[in-house]
Amino acid sequence: MIDGLLELARHRVEGGGGADALERRVERTSIAFEWGRLKAAGVTQEGGVNLRVLHRGRVGIAGTTNVGVGDAAAQHAAPLLERALASAELGEEVALVFPAPAKLPRLVTHVARAADASLERLIQIGQGLLERLAREGCQVNVAIEREVAETRVANTAGAQGTYRSTGVALSADLWRIAGDDVLAIGDALEGCDLPADDALDGVVRSITTRLDHALHIVAPPEGALPVVFTPTGLSAVLLPVTQGLSGKAVVQGISPLGNRVGEQVFHAGLSLTDDPLASGRTASRPLDDECVPSRVTCLVQGGVVQRFVYDLETAARAKTESTGHGQRGIFGKPVPAYTNIVLGETGNVKREAWNGLGGGLLRDITDGLLVDELIGVGQGNVIAGAFSHPVALAYRVERGEITGRVKDAAVAGNAYDLLKRIGGFGSDARWAGSRYAPSVLLEGVAVARR
């Protein structure tokens, strides 16, 4: 549909403008086991087109889910263009430049085994995980979602790209209710292929190990203490930083990092990279949703801020170039968004070995905390760096050993300050959604009882 749509746009846009469009079709298979039984299984399909025009110097956006094929698609193109042009009449003025054709990186984003897996096969994977996690006195939930998609992006400058993708997301959580103590422990996998046996083994080990440590409840420590954040527990610390490294925040003037490129802001061992070319990841892609070829972007190296992520619009406002981070839905305008965030110790981010909870960072802690999950992450004035959250799942560490789970405790601090005082990186680097990170030991985190 978008080829004909862009051809119409070439003849309608005025003032030296142009247009770009994205078309995406997705088939989604979802399976859910609740309380140990198959609760739901089904397949849905969706698709749509997003059109952006630069008309008389202003940007207009329109989207539709009436994509159709052949003549059916053609009949929806003209009305969609009219809506985009009407939107431009009230749109913002932006000196937008659509990228020219460019060579795209070679990247595997579609795995036939995942795309062709039957509903029965997916149910079998879920059932097997359910049986392995079964434990007396506990309830287990498992969910699997498989997506098969095709994305096409093109613009009136002649740039274009099409790619197919697969994504399989698996999550499992175990609930134990004993009196007024409600314990929930979960883990998840995500990738372009069906989960391998060793990955499923890792989920089972992760959940059962944390459950075993959580059965004994101890009093939380208090004070400014060493705290180890696991790969899944790092969100409160990393969210302010990723928000501060967004070109949108820089353009708005709200990023604490906006004028600090080239400065040593964090611990010298810290690196942070966005990698849309990472093998086997669902967020990987050969080009972004604005026809900009994908490339690895180093954001922080050796604790020094290197650059920010931009889409075409924020790059134009900042008078720089897009970093290939444009992301768009069917009805909204593109925004800068990350793909695969990789966090690690400079020169050594690709470690992945099991060394117990905390990745070997607990041995030198006399009294502290291991944080696996917090409550309320993302609320408040995140970009300033300050956070204060109750723990959802955390363990007390005494004399280098986990002594039990803590309840009614909270941790607080400022991410920018704490990331200057990194005490070490664990040997347990892993993917948690679209983030690859090890456990991180931070010194002087405020821990309080609630």
- The predicted-structure confidence for 127-169, as pLDDT tens digits, reads as follows 999 999 999 999 999 999 999 999 999 999 999 999 999 999 9
Residues 182 and 243 in one domain: no
Boundaries of domain holding 412 = 217-449
Residues contacting residue 149 through CB under 8 Å, at least 6 positions apart: 24, 25, 26, 27, 164, 165, 166, 167
For position 356, what pLDDT does the model report?
79
pLDDT at position 68: 66
CA-to-CA separations, 176 to 52, 170, 204, 212, 371, in angstroms, rounded: 50, 21, 16, 12, 19
Query: CA 150, CA 203: separation in Å to the nearest integer?
Result: 29
The pLDDT assigned to 1 comes to 82
Residue 255's nearest CA partner among 265, 240, 267 is 240
58-63: average pLDDT: 96
**pLDDT for position 349:** 41
On whether both 311 and 273 belong to a single domain, the answer is: yes
Read off the CATH number of the domain in which 150 is found. 3.30.2290.10
Residue 72: predicted pLDDT:
57
Is the pLDDT at 70 greater than 70? The verdict is no
Reported confidence tier of residue 71, pLDDT bands at 50, 70, 90: low
Residue 350's pLDDT band, with cuts at 50, 70 and 90, is very low
The answer to whether residues 248 and 305 belong to one domain is yes
- The dihedrals phi and psi of 290, each to the nearest 5 degrees, come to -130, 20
What's the pLDDT tens digit per position in 6-18? 999 999 999 889 9
From 214, 233, 266, the end of a domain falls on: 214
Examine the domain organization and report whether 203 and 306 are in the same domain. no
Is the pLDDT score of 371 beyond 90? yes
Give yes or no: residues 49 and 73 share one domain.
Answer: yes
Nearest to 79 by CA among 34, 118, 49, 121: 49
More confident residue, 347 or 384: 384
Please give the pLDDT value at position 344.
78
Letter string b/e over residues 152-187, b meaning 16 or more CB atoms within 10 A of that residue's CB: bbbbbbebbbebebbbbbbbbbbebeeeeeebebbb
Query: Does residue 200 sit in the same domain as residue 228?
Result: no
At a CB cut-off of 8 Å and minimum separation 6, what does 418 contact?
237, 442, 443, 444, 445
Provide the domain count of the chain: 2
Domain match, 210 and 247 both: no
Residues 438 and 303 in one domain: yes
pLDDT at 348: 44
Compute the chain's Rg from CA coordinates: 24
The per-residue pLDDT of the chain, averaged, comes to 94
Residues 122 and 235 in one domain: no
**Residue 69 CB coordination number (10 Å):** 8
Residue 352 has pLDDT above 80, yes or no: no
SS (H, E, C) the chain: CHHHHHHHHHHHCCCCCEEEEEEEEEEEEEEEEECCEEEEEEEEEEEEEEEEEEECCEEEEEEECCCCCCHHHHHHHHHHHHHHHHHHHCCCECCCCCCCCCCCCCCCCCCHHHHHCCHHHHHHHHHHHHHHHCCCCEEEEEEEEEEEEEEEEEECCCCEEEEEEEEEEEEEEEEEEECCEEEEEEEEEEECCCCCHHHHHHHHHHHHHHHHHHCCEECCCCEEEEEEECCCCCHHHHHHHHHHCEHHHHHHCCCCCCCCCCCECCCCCEEEEECCCCCCCCCCCCECCCCCECCCEEEEECCEECCCECCHHHHHHHCCCCCCCEECCCCCCCEECCCCEEEEECCECCCCCCCCCCCCCCCCCCEEEEEEEECCCCCCCHHHCEEEEEEEEEEEEECCEEEEEECCEEEEEEHHHHCCCEEEECCCCEEECCEEECCEEEEEEEEEEC
Which is higher by pLDDT, 341 or 381? Answer: 341
Res. 76: pLDDT tops 80: no
313 and 266 inside one domain: yes
Confidence of residue 347 (pLDDT cuts 50, 70, 90): very low
Distance CA 114, CA 122 (A): 9
| Whole-number Cα distances in Å, 330 to 246, 276, 337 | 22, 21, 15
pLDDT at 351: 47
Q: Please compute the mean of the pLDDT values over residues 277-302 and round it to a whole number.
A: 97
Same domain, 207 and 248: no
Report the percentage of the chain scoring pLDDT > 70: 96
Confidence category of residue 304, pLDDT binned at 50, 70, 90: very high
Q: Are strands 409-414 and 440-449 parallel, antiparallel or unpaired?
A: antiparallel
Among the three residues 180, 214, 248, which one is the final residue of a domain in this structure? 214
pTM of the full structure: 0.93
Last residue of a domain, one of 214, 240, 260: 214
Please state, in angstroms and rounded to a whole number, the distance separating the CA atoms of residues 281 and 166: 9
Q: Is the pLDDT of residue 345 over 70?
A: no
Residue 410 confidence (pLDDT) above 90:
yes
pLDDT tens-digit readout, 164-195: 999 999 999 999 999 889 999 999 999 999 99
Is 276 found in the same domain as 193?
A: no
Q: Which of 444, 382, 412, 339 is nearest to 239 (CA)?
A: 382
